């Protein structure tokens, strides 16, 4: 018989539990919960590491007004064992900050600022240092040059217990180098040239960042170069203050403890966006305490009163000056460069606001034909499928697709209305870039955007506008194909009709042939016009949840590019030849 003591759990008292009581650092937490940083799955982990290094390089270069030149190299060291080198020409990190930047979780220059950047948490690169260390036992090697003094090289690890960086072998090097180079080894990861692999990640990064040059060497030694197609750095991002409509009580209390203001009045005026004298007076009237009091003494219930008053008072909409869209021209160039489509329509919408306080902006492009769409192996050989390129602040989002507001918006559109009968099987690339000073990611892995109503609605509107344009082109193409087919059928019978008519009328065969061909072309043209009219009428009758913009406004958009198709060229050629005759 089994010993009863071994089966029954021991009853533990509070005193015994107290002995087990321990504090943990955030580094220990994330070491145990790597999946929260997107560091799970062999392929995903490798791509995420590249993503962390590359987003940091782009952010740093943009802030320093430098045209980014980034190099990424992946070497295979063994089974599921790789070394990654990522190098940029950015501002670099000083001797004092380099350790904390890459070796301490929740430390950085972005978390505390409302600024449009790719990173926002202060975990990305330190998470990579920790992953490297915990899978290989090896340090991350770093070279940093700031342009002042000699560059330094060092080896970095993290002390997880204290979430603190540990630097070894720090030395100055006799090289002329400005920027940051990181080299780290990882085990339990896998390189794949797939839709979620590093190469695709970098291809998309290049599309959304046409001012960046990206070089990539894959584990087989194959080299890829994504050249820049824009020669200017986007305007450096600027930090904005929180808008009152987006403020929470918790945020109000935290901010009040760090402000340099001496009264609640001046705290609100200094630390919040759009806090004019009139709005401040209106808030003062609504609260029960003295607004001249020291903000450091602000109580939770008083902060609640302020936030309640904010909801009731009118404020000017948040300023959108801090938003940095890619821009229609740059997206156009970029997609022409990389996707080389037959038809392209690009649109950067006006800034909007979500949750009352966070400005955001949506950019959408639809590309058709050329290299648009994903190529997959199907039953009839290589087939094209819809490709949705999601971006948040110009960073590609490759994972958590189904959970993302962008995907939800794409699938909520009835594409048939735009004559795109089977969008999933169309040679179409849809690019959506969502930008904001605060992206509502669904998790710390930053791969999906939360489906806030305002966000989904705005993306839908942008998709509808561009979808309508693409639809017109696609239906035009279909009509043209049908017309060419009909023309061939009619032409087939012309010699026979010519023969018969010649016998009846005695007119020359050449004249009859010419007249009949002209009749066919005129008739087909009429068919086409009729169909276009019907199409217009159909589009005009649509009613969606998000109403479409007036067509007039759409016509104004210039960022539409059409390449003459082979068939069109042929028809034109024929017309010209006939005209010459």
Residues that bind ligand ATP (CB under 6 A): 52, 56-57, 60, 88, 90-91, 93, 101, 108-110, 119-126, 180
Residue closer to ligand ATP by CB (options 126, 410) is 126
Which of the listed partners (ligand ATP, Mg ion, none) does 136 bind, with a CB threshold of 5 to 8 Å by partner kind? none
536 alpha-carbon distance from chain centroid: 33
Residues 6+ apart with CB under 8 A from 56: 118, 119, 124, 125, 180
DSSP conformation class of 117: -
The C-alpha atoms of residue 543 and residue 561 are separated, in whole angstroms, by 28
Q: Least Å distance between CB 16 and Mg ion? A: 42
Q: Least Å distance between CB 153 and ligand ATP? A: 15
Buried b (16+ CB within 10 A) or exposed e, 45-70: bbbbbbbbbbbbbbbbbbbbebebbb
Residue closer to Mg ion by CB (options 324, 345) is 324
Phi-psi sector, 348: left (phi>0), alpha (psi -120 to 50), beta: beta
Residue closer to ligand ATP by CB (options 112, 285) is 112
Query: Which string of x and - marks every residue 44-83 that binds Mg ion (by CB under 5 A)?
Result: ------------x---------------------------
Residue closer to Mg ion by CB (options 180, 432) is 180
Residue closer to ligand ATP by CB (options 38, 244) is 38
The C-alpha atoms of residue 494 and residue 497 are separated, in whole angstroms, by 5
Q: Least Å distance between CB 61 and ligand ATP? A: 8
Which of the listed partners (Mg ion, ligand ATP, none) does 25 bind, with a CB threshold of 5 to 8 Å by partner kind? none
Residue closer to Mg ion by CB (options 128, 365) is 128
Query: Which string of x and - marks every residue 80-119 that binds Mg ion (by CB under 5 A)?
Result: ---------------------------------------x
Is 124 among the residues that bind Mg ion (CB under 5 A)? Answer: yes
Which of the listed partners (ligand ATP, Mg ion, none) does 90 bind, with a CB threshold of 5 to 8 Å by partner kind? ligand ATP
- What separation in angstroms does the CA of 259 have from each of 255, 263, 296, 304, 355? 6, 10, 8, 18, 24
Q: Least Å distance between CB 66 and ligand ATP? A: 10
Q: Least Å distance between CB 34 and ligand ATP? A: 14
Which of the listed partners (Mg ion, ligand ATP, none) does 122 bind, with a CB threshold of 5 to 8 Å by partner kind? ligand ATP
DSSP conformation class of 487: H
Q: Least Å distance between CB 133 and ligand ATP? A: 15
Task: Please check whether residue 142 is in contact with residue 180, taking contact to mean a CB–CB distance below 8 angstroms.
Answer: yes
The C-alpha atoms of residue 450 and residue 226 are separated, in whole angstroms, by 31
Q: Least Å distance between CB 119 and ligand ATP? A: 2
Task: Please check whether residue 65 is in contact with residue 238, taking contact to mean a CB–CB distance below 8 angstroms.
Answer: no
Which of the listed partners (ligand ATP, Mg ion, none) does 51 bind, with a CB threshold of 5 to 8 Å by partner kind? none
Phi-psi sector, 550: left (phi>0), alpha (psi -120 to 50), beta: beta
Task: Tell me how many residues contact Mg ion (CB under 5 A).
Answer: 3
Torsion of the alpha carbons at 486, 492, 493 and 495, rounded to the nearest 10: 140
The angle subtended at Cα 432 by Cα 246 and Cα 362, nearest 5°, is 35
Count of C-beta atoms within a 10 Å radius of residue 31: 19
Where does this chain bind Mg ion (CB under 5 A)? 56, 119, 124
């Amino acid at each position: 018989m089994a010993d009863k003591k071994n089966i029954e759990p021991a009853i533990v008292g509070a005193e015994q539990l107290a002995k087990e009581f321990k504090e943990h650092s955030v580094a220990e937490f994330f070491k145990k919960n790597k999946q929260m940083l997107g560091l799970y799955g062999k392929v995903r982990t490798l791509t995420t590491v590249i993503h962390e290094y590359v987003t940091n390089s782009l952010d740093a270069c943009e802030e320093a007004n430098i045209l980014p030149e980034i190099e990424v190299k992946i070497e295979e060291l063994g089974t599921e064992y790789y070394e990654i080198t990522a190098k940029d020409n950015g501002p670099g990190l000083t001797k004092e900050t380099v350790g904390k930047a890459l070796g301490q979780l929740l430390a950085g220059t972005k978390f505390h600022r409302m600024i449009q950047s790719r990173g926002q948490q202060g975990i990305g690169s330190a998470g990579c240092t920790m992953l490297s260390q915990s899978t290989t036992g090896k340090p991350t090697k770093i070279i940093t040059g700031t342009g002042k003094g000699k560059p330094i090289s060092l080896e970095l690890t993290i002390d997880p217990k204290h979430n603190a960086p540990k630097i070894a072998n720090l030395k100055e090097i006799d090289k002329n180098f400005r920027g940051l180079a990181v080299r780290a080894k990882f085990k339990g990861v896998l390189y794949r040239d797939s839709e979620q692999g590093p190469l695709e990640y970098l291809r998309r990064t290049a599309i959304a960042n046409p001012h960046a040059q990206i070089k990539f060497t894959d584990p087989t030694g194959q080299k890829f170069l994504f050249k820049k197609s824009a020669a200017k750095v986007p305007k450096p991002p600027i930090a904005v203050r929180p808008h009152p409509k987006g403020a929470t009580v918790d945020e109000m209390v935290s901010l009040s403890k760090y402000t340099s203001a001496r009264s609640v009045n001046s705290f609100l005026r200094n630390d919040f966006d759009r806090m004019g004298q009139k709005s401040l007076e209106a808030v003062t009237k609504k609260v029960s305490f003295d607004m001249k009091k020291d903000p450091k003494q602000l109580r939770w219930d008083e902060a609640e009163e302020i936030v309640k008053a904010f909801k009731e008072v009118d404020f000017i909409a948040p300023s959108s000056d801090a938003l940095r869209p890619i821009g229609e021209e740059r997206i156009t160039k970029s997609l022409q460069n990389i996707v080389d489509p037959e038809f392209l329509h690009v649109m950067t919408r006006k800034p909007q606001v979500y949750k009352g306080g966070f400005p955001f902006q949506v950019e959408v492009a639809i590309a058709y034909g050329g290299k648009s769409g994903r190529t997959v192996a199907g039953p009839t050989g290589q087939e094209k499928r819809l490709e949705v390129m999601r971006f948040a602040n110009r960073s590609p989002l490759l994972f958590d697709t189904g959970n993302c507001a962008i995907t939800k918006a794409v699938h909520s559109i009835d594409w048939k209305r735009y004559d795109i009968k089977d969008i999933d099987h169309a040679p179409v690339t849809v690019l959506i870039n969502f930008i904001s000073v605060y992206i509502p990611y669904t998790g710390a892995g930053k791969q999906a955007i939360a489906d806030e109503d305002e966000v989904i609605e705005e993306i839908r509107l942008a998709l509808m506008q561009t979808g309508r344009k693409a639809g017109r082109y696609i239906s035009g193409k279909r009509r043209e194909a049908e017309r060419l087919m009909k023309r061939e059928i009619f032409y087939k019978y012309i010699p026979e009709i010519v023969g018969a008519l010649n016998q009846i009328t005695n007119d020359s065969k050449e004249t009859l042939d010419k007249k009949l061909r002209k009749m066919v072309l005129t008739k087909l043209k009429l068919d086409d016009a009729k169909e276009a009219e019907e199409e217009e009428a159909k589009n005009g009758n649509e009613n969606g949840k998000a109403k479409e913009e007036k067509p007039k406004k759409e016509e104004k958009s210039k960022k539409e590019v059409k390449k003459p198709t082979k068939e069109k060229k042929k028809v034109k050629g024929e017309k010209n030849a006939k005209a010459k005759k």
